[in-house]
Chain A
Amino acid sequence: MPASPIHEASRRELERIRNALAMTAARRPAMTSSTTSTATPPRHSFEQAIEDVKLSKTDLNAVIMEYLISEGYPEAAQRFALEANIEPELDVDSIQERVEIREAIASGDIQSAIEKINELNPQVLDQDSALHFSLLRLQLIELIRKATATPDGDITPALTFATTHLAPRAPTNQEFLEDLERTMALLIFPPDNLAPPLAALLDPALRQEVAQRVNQALLLSQGERTKATLYDLVNYRSWANQKAIQAKKEHLPERIELGFDPAHNGHESSQNGSSLRQAADPMVTGWGPY
């Protein structure tokens, strides 16, 4: 088709621009590579190095998703699958079972926790006698807690439980025996003035710890990773920092902030605010081409 004069003119202009640009483009590689081979790369600051690390949101979302599933937050996991547009359908039931067990342990209802575990997979406790013993001892602690809550509480149920369930297992392992003895000491001392090792037995943290071990054992029995990657990542971070300090690495900041900013202005933000701010400012550091 015959091109209009306007288009003919612009075609020529385009041609001219193309030629000019082709020459510029042809010159550039040579310049780039000559600077490459001679100049040593500038020593980057720690903050700059951090900005340069590439990380995809998809990978981070996977870390979050895995955490929600393996730690047992079914509601959040379902929401997240929707909000983050994550593909595979979730098997909420398998999370729910672990959540119920966790809740039972957390609330001190060890009996039903053990029943639920056995319902799910009786081999879990059969194969892990230490875990089984920990659960039974937790149950004993709850019985003692109940008995010593009032001045004239009945300690018979606690004693019976200890003799029938824990005592037969204790001789198989020195640690079991010590644990049992320490637990029984709770019956003797008044609960409001306990030595730290004994007080730890009554702390809810112990229940939480056992609940986590149970969760890991269940995950293992289901062929899953026993621990969410997030936990590993936190360990990696801490370990690497310690190693870098030990090796007296140059450019290592004295303290590397995680940079939380919780709703209420946290303790961290003031400590190292200026450098964090700088690292975060895209004007200063840039964030890659386009």
Chain B
Amino acid sequence: MTNEGSPGAPHLSYSNPTSGIMPRRSSYASVAAGTAGISSSSGHLPRIVNTGSYTHSTSLDQPSRIPQPISDPDTRVEGGMDIPSSWGRGGSFSSPRFPSQSYSASGSGGMLGFFEPSYLKESKYMEKLKAAHKAKLAAQADELLTRSSKPGSLSTSSSSVSLHKMAPSHRGMTYEIIERQPEVEDDGVTPLPSKWAETDKNAGLEISADGQDVKFVGPSKTLDHEAASTRSDNPMPAQCGIYYYEVSIISRGKEGMIGVGFSGASASLEKLPGWEPESWAYHGDDGKSFCAATPGKPYGPTFTSGDVIGCGVNFMKGCAFFTKNGVFQGNAFRDLRDVKVYPSVGMKRPHAHLSVNFGQRPFMFDIDRMVSRERQSIIDEINAADVSNLHPTLNKDELCKALVAQYLSHDGYVETARAFASEVRAEATALRGGSESKLEGYLSVEEDHDAMNRQQIRTAILDGDIDKAIKLTNAFYPQVLQDNHQIYFKLRCRKFIEMMRQSTDFLDNSTSKQTKSTTTNGHSTAVSDDGFEPDMDLDEPITSKDGGHHNNDDWDRMDTEEVAGGDNWGLKYQTLLEVIIRYGQELKHEFKDDRRKHVTDTFTDIFSMFSYPDPRKSPQGKLLESEQRVPLAEGLNSAILVSLGKSSSTALERVYKQTVVLVDMISEDGGPGSFINVGNLLQSSRKSWQQ
């Protein structure tokens, strides 16, 4: 068991003065741990033990050690099986730790799991974080399902291998565990600070098991500049524009030498934040603000037990402020540029005890209002923006009309495009007495057979009839699939997926049939509903030698049996699977010379569905959803447009996408884009007329 800084770390020796106050929770933990222990044959606990509603994983190597406090089972589950990362951290299993004040006080669920600070609700950052979290949950659920459906894979060796990657061994890992969703990996969203980091604290401090409370337990720091500090697990994410957290002073300890602020990862934890370079804080004993080891400046009132101190950093403006009991104290620091800082607190005397709120609960200060004011000022700025640089000749009004006109004709809304053109012309005529408009070039709607052809192809894919789509494409645009091999490949794979999809319909009908009557209606409707017609006369030659004909015969037989009212569903299901396997072999044979990674990966993905009795429950089950047809349809549509020498997407689409990327760019470091969520803009358009 390798655990960074485990044995010999100095803080192991601290005894816990408060361990006696938590028997109620530890009893639950024993039950859970006990259950877990039964299923564990060796000294290792299995990585994930699913005990009904309660899911828990640990990396304990000593079963007698009880992880605690364990939160309510509901909390745990809602928390999304969040691996208790504190357990992966060095030394955390040394002694039972004290429960946090905030936790005991609130007792509400979700404390340890995913949370959404109120002031970030509308932010793009939060949206990304949620998407990452969702993907993580999905991946973990898959993982669980995979395991439960395949008991063989729960061998000691495989679980300990996975265990290694499950234990977050350093900061920033929390959201990268078993990520299989590429979009999440690409986003690389930094998670929010969620607790004090066991691995990033002075030895004189002790952190509660949920990471929310921190207490001074060491010998009193007698030297003037000596103190003990800690930092949060994750840095403040600059992309959220303004970051804010609050600390309750449960007990100030002697003299109230407490600092609340933030510091860079390199700042020493042997002093109070503010006394070190790369650290900034507001101190309770004198009410001064300390900026990176410079002498303190008078800033606010002193603070003591019972007070709530808030700390906020405005990354856009490069300033930081504090609040006391919900009252804004003004800006303390300016010119904070390109800083990567962590929430940090420090204290100096025994019995000092702080409890943090990183946004899991409502804040005392109305930070939401500050953020929405900031957002409003950005929106005002946007509304006043000069748009003349967007187009060399068209003004804003004309540009919008051109965007609409181009969208309508590009995407084949021919009738609408005509109506729009004539209404715009009528408007221009009324205004200028019929002079030629600059817009004319955008308004003319051509008689477009291509639009109709493309529409047909798109519909075929959206209906799941891949063979028809391939046939139509080859008939209208023979070059397209030859030139776009990747699309052809995806279409062929999609056909396989559609067959798998059909087999799942079969499964559903079969199970219902077993319990109900033996009519075969269900089958035939399932087949046609799905749009996957057993199309016998494929135009394109089938490359596989043994594939094609056999394949067709099977389809025939199955069809006739259904018509004849045969009720041998088991046999038919078997037959269908055979057909799918043949098609799969054919597919594999057709692309056997293509050793590119995306091809082999795709094969692994789609064929792996076979290893599940119900492919929808496989990790790739998402592929079966009909929504997955849309990108394929759009991709083929784009390829056809490109082959016709036209642009593949509408200008409106590009305007939107460019905006998203640009706004992302200017929010990376907490710039003005942080306060803007372009996606919400689209939602507003929907709301406005769909009441």
What string of 1s and 0s marks CB contacts (under 8 Å) between A19-56 and chain B? 10110111011101110110001001010011111010
Q: Find A287's partner among B183, B432, B638, B688 (CB 8 Å cutoff).
A: B638
- Residues of chain B within 8 A of A68, CB atoms compared: 404, 420
Report the separation of the CA atoms of residues A87 and B686 in the bound assembly, to the nearest whole angstrom. 12
The stretch among A114-122, A163-171, A225-233 that forms the contact with chain B is A225-233
B611 adjacent to chain A (CB < 8 Å): yes
Contact at A76–B423, with CB atoms within 8 Å?
Answer: yes
In the complex, the answer to whether B427 meets A231 with C-beta atoms within 8 Å is: no
Measured CA separation A107–B178 after assembly (Å): 65
B200 to chain A, nearest CB (A): 20
Contact across chains for A33 and B610 when beta carbons are under 8 A apart: no
Q: Is B487 an interface residue (CB 8 A)?
A: yes
9-residue interface stretch from B60-68, B81-89, B523-531, B670-678: B670-678
**What's the interface size class on B, roughly?**
35 or more
Q: Give the distance to chain A from B134, nearest Cβ to Cβ, in Å.
A: 14
Does B539 make an interface contact (CB < 8 A)? no
Chain A residues with CB under 8 Å of B404's CB are 64, 67-68, 230
> In the complex, are the beta carbons of A75 and B423 less than 8 A apart?
yes
Cβ of A191 to closest chain B Cβ, rounded Å = 16
For B686, the chain A residues whose CB sits under 8 A away are 59, 62, 66
Q: Are B406 and A79 in contact (CB under 8 A)?
A: no
- Report which of B389, B396, B430 forms a contact with A103, defined as CB distance below 8 A: B430
How far does the Cβ of A76 sit from chain B's closest Cβ, in whole Å? 4
Any B CB within 8 A of the CB of A221: no
Q: What residues of chain A lie closer than 8 Å to B104, measured between beta carbons? A: none
Q: Is B30 interfacial (CB-CB < 8 Å)?
A: no
Using Cβ atoms and an 8 Å threshold, which residues of chain A touch B650? 60
For B386, give its contact among A19, A53, A238 (CB under 8 Å): A238
Q: How far is the CB of A62 from chain B (nearest CB, A)?
A: 4
CB distance from B488 to the nearest CB of A (A): 11
Whether B441 contacts A41 by the Cβ 8 Å rule is no
Query: Which residues of B have CB within 8 Å of A258?
Result: 390-391, 403, 651, 654-655, 658
Residue contact B392 to A262, C-beta cutoff 8 Å: no
| Contact call A259/B647, Cβ cutoff below 8 A | yes
Question: Within 8 Å CB of A224, what residues of B?
Answer: 688
Bound: A180/B620 CA distance, A: 71
Are the CB atoms of B382 and A53 closer together than 8 Å?
A: no
Residues of A within 8 A of B419 (CB): 73, 75-76, 78-79
- Flag if A234 contacts B647 (CB, 8 Å): no
In the complex, whether A190 has a CB less than 8 A from a CB of chain B is no
Contact A41 B188 (CB under 8 A): yes
User: Taking the complex as formed, is A261 at the interface, i.e. its CB lies under 8 A from any CB of chain B?
Assistant: yes
**Complex contacts, A236 vs chain B, CB 8 Å:** 382, 385, 659, 663, 676, 678, 681
Most buried by A among B183, B387, B634: B387
Which residues of chain B (66-95) have a CB below 8 Å from chain A?
A: none
A259 and B651 within 8 A (CB): yes
A83 B413 Cβ-Cβ under 8 A? yes
What is the distance, in angstroms, from B171's C-beta to the closest C-beta of chain A?
Answer: 13
The 8 Å CB contact of A267, one of B389, B393, B485, B642, is B393
Q: Who on chain A is nearest to B661 by CB? A: A49
Of B49-57, B157-165, B261-269, B284-292, the stretch lying at the interface with chain A is B157-165
How far is A52 from B657 in the complex, measured between Cα atoms in Å? 9
Query: Looking at the complex, which one of B186, B399, B571, B649 makes contact with A234 (CB distance below 8 Å)?
Result: B399
Chain B residues lying within 8 Å of A66, measured Cβ to Cβ, are 685-686, 688-689
Query: Interface size bucket, A side?
Result: 35 or more
Known: A84-B413, A230-B403. A240 touches B673 (CB 8 A): yes
Q: When the two chains form the complex, which single residue of A34, A225, A281 contacts B642, counting CB atoms closer than 8 Å?
A: A281
Indicate whether B42 reaches chain A with its CB closer than 8 angstroms: no
Which residues of B312-370 are within 8 A (CB) of A?
Answer: none
B653 to A60, Cβ gap below 8 A? yes
For residue B180, CB closer than 8 A to chain A, the reply is yes
Which among B222-230, B470-478, B489-497, B513-521 touches the partner chain? B489-497
Interface window among A6-14, A128-136, A147-155: A6-14
The answer on a CB contact under 8 Å between B415 and A82 is yes
Q: Which residues of chain B are near A36, meaning CB under 8 Å?
A: 176, 179, 185
**Bound-state Cα–Cα, A73 to B396, Å:** 18
With A260-B402, A263-B446 known as contacts, the answer to whether A282 contacts B568 (CB < 8 A) is no
Residue of B nearest to A82 (CB): B415
Q: Shortest beta-carbon distance, B228 to chain A, in Å?
A: 31
B415 & A83 in contact (Cβ 8 Å cutoff): yes
Q: Is A288 an interface residue, CB under 8 A from the partner?
A: yes
B646 and A261: CB pair below 8 A?
A: yes
Separation of A79 and B423 alpha carbons in the complex (Å): 12
In whole Å, how far is A26's beta carbon from the nearest beta carbon of chain B?
5
Interface centre among B143, B485, B646, B672 (most CB of A within 10 A): B672
**Does the CB pair A29–B441 fall under 8 Å?**
no
Question: In the bound complex, do residue B659 and residue A264 qualify as a contact, i.e. CB atoms below 8 Å apart?
Answer: no
* B377-425 interface (Cβ within 8 A of A): 381-383, 385-387, 389-393, 396-397, 399-400, 402-404, 406-408, 411, 413-416, 418-420, 422-424
Contacts known (A21-B607, A21-B610); A262 close to B407, Cβ less than 8 A: no
B residues 162-191 near A (Cβ < 8 Å) are 162, 165, 173, 176-180, 183, 185-186, 188
> Does A88 make an interface contact (CB < 8 A)?
yes
| Distance A70 CA – B390 CA, assembled complex (angstroms) | 23
Which chain A residues lie closer than 8 Å to B162 at the CB level?
30
Binds A, one of B251-259, B296-304, B540-548, B574-582: B574-582
Chain B, 565-598, CB within 8 A of any chain A CB: 568, 570-571, 574-575, 577-578, 581
- CA of A51 to CA of B424, assembled, Å: 32
Binary A-proximity of B623-651 (CB < 8 A = 1, otherwise 0): 10000111110110011001000111111
Contacts of B634 in A (CB 8 A): 287
Chain B residues whose CB sits within 8 angstroms of the CB of A84 once the complex forms: 413, 416
Q: Roughly how many angstroms separate A52 CA and B161 CA in the complex, as a whole number?
A: 33
CB atoms of B611 and A67 under 8 A apart: no
Stretch at the interface among A181-189, A192-200, A244-252: A244-252
CA distance A143 to B570 in the complex (A): 87
B444 at the interface (CB under 8 A from A): yes
Of B408, B431, B490, B672, the contact of A106 (CB 8 Å cutoff): B431
Q: Are B178 and A29 in contact (CB under 8 A)?
A: yes
Does B413 contact A260, Cβ atoms closer than 8 Å? no
- B501 CB to closest chain A CB (Å) equals 12
What residues on A are CB-neighbors of B418 within 8 Å? 79
In the complex, the answer to whether B406 meets A260 with C-beta atoms within 8 Å is yes
Known contacts A232-B681, A290-B497; is A69 also within 8 Å of B689 by CB?
Answer: yes
Check: B39 CB closer than 8 A to any chain A CB: no
With known contacts A83-B413, A252-B665, A107–B430 Cβ distance under 8 A: yes
Measured between beta carbons, the chain A residues less than 8 angstroms from B183 are 52
Kindly state whether residue B604 has any CB partner on chain A within 8 Å. yes
Taking a contact as CB atoms under 8 Å apart, the answer to whether A41 and B186 are in contact is yes
Contacts of B656 in A (CB 8 A): 53, 55, 60, 233
Interface flag for B103 (CB, 8 Å): no
Known interface pairs A26-B158, A52-B186, A241-B389; A79-B416 also in contact (CB < 8 Å): yes
Binding site for A on B (CB under 8 A): 143, 146, 150, 153, 158, 161-162, 165, 173, 176-180, 183, 185-186, 188, 381-383, 385-387, 389-393, 396-397, 399-400, 402-404, 406-408, 411, 413-416, 418-420, 422-424, 426-427, 430-432, 441-442, 444, 446, 483-487, 490, 493-494, 497, 568, 570-571, 574-575, 577-578, 581, 602, 604, 607-608, 610-611, 618-619, 623, 628-632, 634-635, 638-639, 642, 646-666, 671-673, 676, 678, 681-686, 688-691
Ordered nearest first, which 4 A-B pairs have the shortest CB separation? A229-B685, A240-B662, A76-B420, A239-B385
Q: List 15 A-B contacts (CB under 8 A).
A: A7-B575, A26-B146, A64-B404, A80-B408, A102-B427, A106-B431, A228-B400, A233-B681, A241-B658, A267-B393, A280-B647, A283-B485, A283-B487, A286-B486, A287-B631
Q: With contacts A50-B658, A240-B662, A256-B658 known, what are 16 further pairs, Cβ within 8 A?
A: A10-B574, A10-B578, A33-B178, A63-B685, A76-B419, A107-B431, A204-B431, A208-B431, A212-B397, A238-B385, A243-B672, A258-B651, A260-B402, A280-B647, A282-B484, A290-B493
